[in-house]
Amino acid sequence: MATVRSRQIKKEDHPPQRSIAKSLVLTILTLLLLVVLFISGQLVRREYSFHPISGTSMSPTLTEKDMVLVKRRNPIHRYDVIAFSVKGEDGKFVKRVIGMPGDTMFIRNDRMVLSIGEQGDFETTYTFHLSPAVAEKFQDLTKIPKGLYFTTGDHIDVSKDSRTFGFVDKKEIEGTVQFHLPSVIRKQANSE
């Protein structure tokens, strides 16, 4: 019994120590994890951005204080919701693409008739009332020029869109809206 007791005393006198090799491996793994997280964050920031929605021009799809995730460098299709800048205006606009490059159109008395049919035969059309300045600018066009898009808000009665500021240049488009976080969910998350 004396032998067993002396071994117990030895263990209590000298607590186990982590080897230098294990400490070094843990340190390297921790640094590697931090580097991977940093690089992932940079890649996500390069491909995506978040924007808050202000105003009601996209109701009911998007409402005041919703947050949207915008994917950059994404192909643009008709009816996509896009985020873009407008020269002379503050902030980002978020609107729906209605007119695509090459779509046939004509202007009559501040109204634009836009053909979205396959061959520009005006079987499927939209009609928009334009501001006088935009109608004058579009007067001589028969097609939406290459690299330009016609956008509107979903709540068309209150939306400031291509009807007031003209076409949106592809260079000014940040990307397409991929996802939105409704303000109701965000309010619940913040209150918890």
Question: Is 70:50 a contact under the CB 8 Å cutoff?
Answer: yes
What tokens appear for 136 in the block? 């004058």
Adjacent-strand bridge partners of 50: 69
- In the block, tokens 């032998």 appear at 3
129-161: burial string, b at 16+ Cβ within 10 Å, e else: ebeeebbeebeeeeebeeebbbbbbebeeebeb
> CA angle at residue 104 from 99 to 113, to 5 degrees?
75
Question: 109 by DSSP, 3-state: which?
Answer: coil
Catalytic positions are 57, 95
Q: Are 177 and 83 in contact (CB under 8 A)?
A: yes
Instruction: Determine contact, residues 154/58, Cβ cutoff 8 Å.
Output: yes
